[in-house]
């Protein structure tokens, strides 16, 4: 029947296209959603892809999942911002040759009315103490991400275990959490990059910033080929070298979103 023939042609075509898609060399990179959403990778990756005739598959998930993907060998290299977990990743033999790439910072966002009165503070833990005291709405990532880890360390420094109706654990990405905090007129801890990207969608303001403890460093770690022999180690090392090399670093430093610089280099 004619139908059967059309379907057979479709199936053959699809197998053909599938094959060509698999033909290019692919490097798998697991990174965080905030990194991907900043848009940096769309300008940072193409020169590398061209120079090495490959495609970088960016899998953007939460920090915890990105690291897990590195542990299971489902990706070739990870780019995350969770120092403690990164160190453990290397110490346990999952990754090799960690390199510092760039940093940005976290800020505490809040509504203009600022019920907890934290505006102008430069101490993160201090700001959280006041929020808890005022029982003002605070939206947490709640998802073991880099941001969440940072938030937890601040609560610890403040000596407080956050609990109660005012503390909302969202279990969502940074963008969604900012949206939620905006709707609920609450506070949240966010990376500056996502905030800049969201400036047009939220009326929350940066109320606390500049604390050394709000520092957010990024590290790139190729997956250890001893643990996962199939990993594309040369390409992964080349990638790490590119990120920390002159070309990569210059692209990072020059990247602007909404006119503002998102990422900063180590000098």
Which residues here bind another protein, judged by CB under 8 A?
A: 2-3, 6-7, 10-11, 14-15, 17-18, 21-22, 26, 28, 33, 37, 55, 57-61, 72-75, 172-173, 175-176, 178-179, 197-198, 201, 228, 230
Nearer to another protein, 171 or 217 (CB): 171
Q: Which is nearer to another protein, 31 or 128 (CB)?
A: 31
Separation of alpha carbons 45 and 222, rounded Å: 16
**Residue ranges of E strands in the chain:** 25-32, 54-61, 77-80, 99-110, 138-140, 167-169, 187-191, 205-208, 215-222, 256-257, 260-261
Min dist. Cβ of residue 221 to another protein (A): 17
Specify the residue, 156 or 226, whose C-beta has the smaller distance to another protein. Answer: 226
Phi, psi of 171 (to 5 degrees): 65, 35
CB of 65 to another protein, least distance (A): 10
Distance separating the N- and C-terminal Cα atoms of the chain: 70
Largest CA distance in the chain: 75
CB of 95 to another protein, least distance (A): 15
Whose Cβ is closer to another protein: residue 69's or residue 118's? Answer: 69
**Smallest distance from the beta carbon of 183 to another protein, in angstroms?**
11
Q: Which is nearer to another protein, 11 or 84 (CB)?
A: 11
Cα separation, 205 vs 215, in Å, equals 19
Q: In angstroms, what is the minimal distance from the CB of 195 to another protein? A: 12
Backbone angles phi, psi at 264, to 5 degrees: -125, 150
């Amino acid at each position: 029947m004619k139908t059967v023939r059309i379907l057979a042609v479709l199936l053959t075509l699809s197998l053909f296209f599938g094959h060509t898609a698999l033909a290019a060399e692919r490097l798998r990179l697991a990174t965080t959603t905030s990194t991907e959403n900043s848009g940096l990778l769309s300008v940072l990756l193409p020169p590398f892809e061209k120079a090495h005739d490959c495609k970088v598959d960016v899998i953007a998930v939460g920090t915890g999942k990105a690291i897990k993907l590195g542990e299971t060998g489902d990706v070739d290299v990870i780019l995350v911002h969770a120092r403690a977990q990164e160190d453990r990743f290397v110490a346990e033999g999952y990754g090799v040759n960690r390199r510092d790439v760039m940093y940005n910072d976290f800020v505490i966002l809040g509504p203009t009315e600022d019920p907890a009165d934290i505006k102008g503070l430069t101490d993160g833990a201090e700001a959280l103490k006041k929020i808890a005291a005022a029982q003002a709405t605070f939206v947490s990532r709640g998802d073991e991400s880099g941001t969440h880890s940072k938030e937890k360390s601040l609560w610890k420094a403040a000596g407080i275990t956050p609990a109660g109706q005012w503390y909302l654990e969202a279990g969502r990405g940074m963008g969604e959490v900012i949206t939620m905090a905006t709707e609920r007129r609450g506070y949240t801890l966010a990376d500056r990059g996502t905030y800049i990207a969201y400036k047009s969608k939220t009326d929350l303001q940066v109320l606390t910033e500049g604390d050394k403890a709000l520092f957010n460093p990024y590290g790139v770690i190729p997956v250890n080929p001893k643990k996962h022999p199939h990993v594309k180690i040369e390409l992964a090392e080349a990638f790490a070298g590119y990120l920390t090399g002159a070309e990569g670093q210059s692209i990072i430093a020059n990247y602007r979103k909404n006119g503002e610089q998102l990422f900063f280099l180590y000098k």
